[in-house]
Structure 1
């Protein structure tokens, strides 16, 4: 068991541009994963190194360290190590560990502790969920986040319980229209990753979400006996969802529409904040593309589920989690419920990508490659 990456995660390395699209990876302008660039591929050996022999071992060691920093072997998000099969129908109970990123957000009242919403773990101390979950909850000082379980009646030894240290609701959330229905929860203590606890991958704008083919939803519907349910769904065209026989313009630009035209499979009460994930078309990991936000009724024809698009809020998530303090020694006395500040914009109107550490390291590696090639050409 290891501590979940305290910074923002990225998926397992695979070929193709989508791999660099995960939250926290930055905007690396390359179509190949950095980890695929090996010392052998660069033909960097003490014999071929275009430097004095005495300096070659130290230079080689430095390059190895640099490559290790830029491209860690293996991914840190979007993994489902305990999932054997993916659901093909609706309302299927899942096996323990099948959805290792999902969490249950629970409130304690006079008559007990109840599941309120779902969320997804993004790092060792941050959970992504929806804002409307907290609309009628009052103070969250007694709320709990249960991580690493599928059965809320019998969480099991693999599960962890944390309290809410801080709640960040989007500054432009509008309850009446469900615009900007997104929130971040900071846990009072970090959690450790395991086969039952993994991190979700949020895509940036470079991933073409509409082209993802295999998508799934999960949640603890109140009628399911509090055992996590999963279903396979299709991403649907937003214009179709906004047409007059469907939602008649109520779907916003920050939403995704997923389900089936005939209904039958949908998220419902108790599923709010539940993940909409889509398998990468070329690799065996999953993108967290949406969070269950709203709908009209349950499983109705021409009224599929509406989800908050995580890609739409990529910069907002990056900004808020980047502002979080370093790992804390213990819980704060009282959670802080705040409205998140505005995003700083560049002259082009978009948030500047986070340049350090990965982007700078990749740029340095590219410059180093060019320099080595220059020396080799000069020697030849």
Structure 2
């Protein structure tokens, strides 16, 4: 058997509690607001009748009668209970008649006093509305119908089409949580109606607006509507009430709880004089004034739009007399609070809301307005005058017509103080309180002669100076149950300290017991091991008794254990292990596996315990690996592309084994790619140094890519040959002068001479001595042809210095039978050189080398290998084939790891427990 424990919560229907809901020991526990107590069902609350449960609740002789209110009580100077259908007016000594069948303005439950006021009780002013505009601007409002709220138009001076208005009904503490005030109803405004003649630039005039909610407000003990005036308007002196959440001082902090203040209605002429010189004079046709000339009590910021309510003159019902509009500061002396007179606008309200207005309702007994004053008895020096009024539907001194029918006052005097008003109730019932009474300046203002500022507008006296009684500790009865709640009754006695004042509050009360929860079964523990591994066994689990012991009520003995069958599958048998698999790695360790099958059963269950796979480490041997490269060898050629070679070996294996299968055991690198030194061909022969008589001619070559003496540049840079060996015709000097003629007359002869200039002497040598006498010599050449030889035949050309790529070969001859040989077509050269071996050499492939990186970061991949054609061209002789190839590569064993988990998928069911999954 299984049981489901359902968590109880206060969020559903407030746990069926009428007031407050709490959770205690996982169970709902209802409680009540102050002034109320739980009834026997433990959910609903009833008002504590302090007047019936205590003695001497009202010890003050002037107010001895206790009047019970919802959640509180008040003391009065007379008891109205004896009169059928009557009750005491709120905070007043007079009686009022309950209005039969009235659905609005029912009894309030306020207790105390906005500025100069005090806190209210929950439900005290059920029509009060807390309005929040755009989440920050606070105003008050009054509920007049289940859909409609009255407030001030000036609250919406800055409103736009996007303005939001949220309203709270039944609220007492604006800072309370939803759990602390579960009865509060929250509504959004769906319609805002401003009076057509209201102008935000003259905001106090026609300062009234209506708000409509989308969902009807529920009426209960915390929330209800107030009546419209139906033609009634309070007369000066009438005591009315203002409530609100606004500041408790001018520009001070907002109230932390709903506050109330009692204010008398002020004569409009008196009020108008206060505001004559201000920006907004009083409109006596559409406004009301209330307050005290001395100040101290008034509405303030945040109270705007809130209610000024009065009890009707002929019944106990409350009606909305005014809407909080404006004032001078807050409770400033001589400046009264100004209110929109609702009676002047109730036809407009009715036209917008369809709420009926009955202007001609019948009033019970009541005074008429005072007639005009009689003529003063004197024209000066303090005379007197009188005025009178009549009681309609009653008699003077009777209900509704209390007081005098005639009033007398001084006249033709300077301004003077009025008669002191009645004493207000004492602020406390004991422990030294105060009571005040006030007066006003008649026919003038405070400060005028006769109403000097030194005169007091308020006088105070101490009252109830007796020591306050205190309650002794509660004495509680036994609980009605032993566990799980229950109720117990308490009684206490009052210690009056010898006085005659009773303690406030009830003498008896009930409360829920804290007996602790009843014993109950806890959650089951884990299942025990199965009694059999296969073919059917049993297992058990137990549960504890929470908040008790087994055998208590709620934990019946024998129900603590649960049993079920298990391992019902047939027992199986293992086959023999298979042969070992190939090792997972060829070297450096690795594992091998062997498997087996379970016949007729399930692996891990009966008959087949253990696993179907076993793993064993392989014998370890080192993996083949390349050794380090050797140093490169010397270049195979000193020029024109030689090769340098380096080698490596495969350790622990052979070339081609995994680990030595990428790359080659040797690597070539091209070196000395510069061209070899060699002579260029000889240039052209120079002009012969002589035109005859054995001259010489030269031709020159250079050594490219080196210097003379390098291999390939061994020999002479210059060749010389004889030229113009023929004898030169003799050169004579210039003819000399003619000689004298041989005869002086007749034919004769005369001569002139020239010399042969071919046999010129050479230049003198240097002197054999620098001093003391020496010698020097010079020579000249004999120009005869003796000693002339001839050249032999050229020898065969020598073998070419290279077989390809460009080299040289030489041949020689000799000068025969003579000192010198005359030049021939080869000049006088005895050696000659010519180029040879100019056909291109065949190329040679270098070894393939790795180019780039392996295509895999681990495991097997491929890599590009390249080679070069040394001394040739790719595709030419010796370099046939491709210069690139793909080769396998191995980057070591791959180490795998999980990626991050993906997101969770949707649950496979919407309720009742399902499964959702994610992958990686």
TM-score class, shorter-chain normalisation, is 0.5 to 0.7
Q: What secondary structure does 2:168 align onto?
A: strand
SS in 2 for 1:192: coil
| In 2, Cα distance between equivalents of 1:200 and 1:353 | 13
Q: What is the deviation of 1:175? A: 2.5
Which of 148, 151, 168 is the equivalent residue of 1:126?
148
Greater share of helix residues, 1 or 2? Answer: 1
Q: Is the 2:236–2:266 contact (alpha carbons within 8 Å) kept by the matching residues of 1?
A: no
Specify the SS of the correspondent of 1:242: helix
Among 135, 154, 167, which residue is 1:145 paired with?
167
C-alpha spacing 1:198/1:175, structure 2 compared with 1 (3 Å): same
Question: Structure 2 stretches of 5 or more lacking a match?
Answer: 1-17, 19-98, 248-252, 362-920
Secondary structure at the aligned position of 1:311 is classed as: helix
Residue number in structure 2 paired with 1:226: 256
Residue of structure 2 in register with 1:250 after alignment: 281
| In 2: Cα distance, 1:256 partner to 1:245 partner | 13
Deviations 1:109-134 (A, max 9, x none): xxxx3352110011110000010011
Q: What RMSD in Å do the two structures reach over aligned CA positions?
A: 2.9
Matches within 5 A, 1:81-92: 81-83=108-110, 85=111, 87=113, 90-92=116-118
For residues 208 and 308 of structure 1, the distance between their equivalents in structure 2, rounded to whole angstroms, comes to 12
The separation in 1 between residues aligned to 2:230 and 2:288, in whole angstroms, is: 15
Residue 130 of structure 2 is matched in structure 1 by 104
* SS of the residue 1:281 aligns to: coil
User: How many aligned residue pairs are there?
Assistant: 253
- Structure 1 regions of 5+ residues with no counterpart? 2-71, 324-351, 359-380
- In structure 1, what is the Cα distance between the partners aligned to 2:268 and 2:358? 30
Q: CA deviation at 1:138?
A: 2.6
Over 3 Å counting, the alpha-carbon distance change for 1:247 and 1:311 in structure 2 is farther
CA distance in 2, matches of 1:290, 1:131: 13
Residues 277, 80 of structure 1: CA spacing in aligned structure 2 closer, same or farther, 3 A cutoff?
same
The yes-or-no answer on 1:136 pairing with 2:164 is: no
Scaled by the length of structure 1, the TM-score of the pair is 0.61
Q: Cα 1:95–1:301, aligned 2, differ >3 Å: closer, same or farther?
A: same
Give the aligned partner of residue 297 of structure 2. Answer: 265
The 1:285–1:234 alpha-carbon spacing in structure 2 relative to 1, beyond 3 Å, is same
The answer on 1:195 being equivalent to 2:221 is: yes
2:347 partner SS = helix
CA contact (8 A) 1:212 1:281 kept: no
Counting only pairs closer than 5 Å after superposition, residues 1-380 of structure 1 correspond to structure 2 as 74-83=101-110, 85=111, 87=113, 90-108=116-134, 113-139=135-161, 142-154=164-176, 156-177=181-202, 178-205=204-231, 207-210=232-235, 213-222=238-247, 223-243=253-273, 250-252=281-283, 253-322=285-354
**Residues 112 and 119, structure 2, Cα contact 8 Å, conserved in 1:** no
| Equivalent-residue separation in structure 1 for 2:274 and 2:174 (angstroms) | 39
Bigger radius of gyration: 2
CA deviation after TM superposition for structure 1 residue 105, in Å: 1.1
Runs of 4+ in 1 over 3 A off after TM superposition: 80-83, 244-249, 352-355
Change (3 A) 1:216 1:354: closer
With normalisation by structure 2, the TM-score equals 0.26
Instruction: Find the counterpart in structure 1 of residue 637 from structure 2.
Output: none
3-state SS of the aligned residue for 2:321?
strand
Name the CA distance, whole Å, in 2 between partners of 1:247 and 1:160. Answer: 44
- Residues 90/353 of structure 1: CA separation in 2 closer, same or farther (3 Å cut): closer
Displacement, 1:82?
3.3
Which is bigger in relative contact order (C-alpha 8 A, separation at least 6)? 1
User: Which whole-Å CA distance do the structure 2 matches of 1:212 and 1:283 have between them?
Assistant: 18
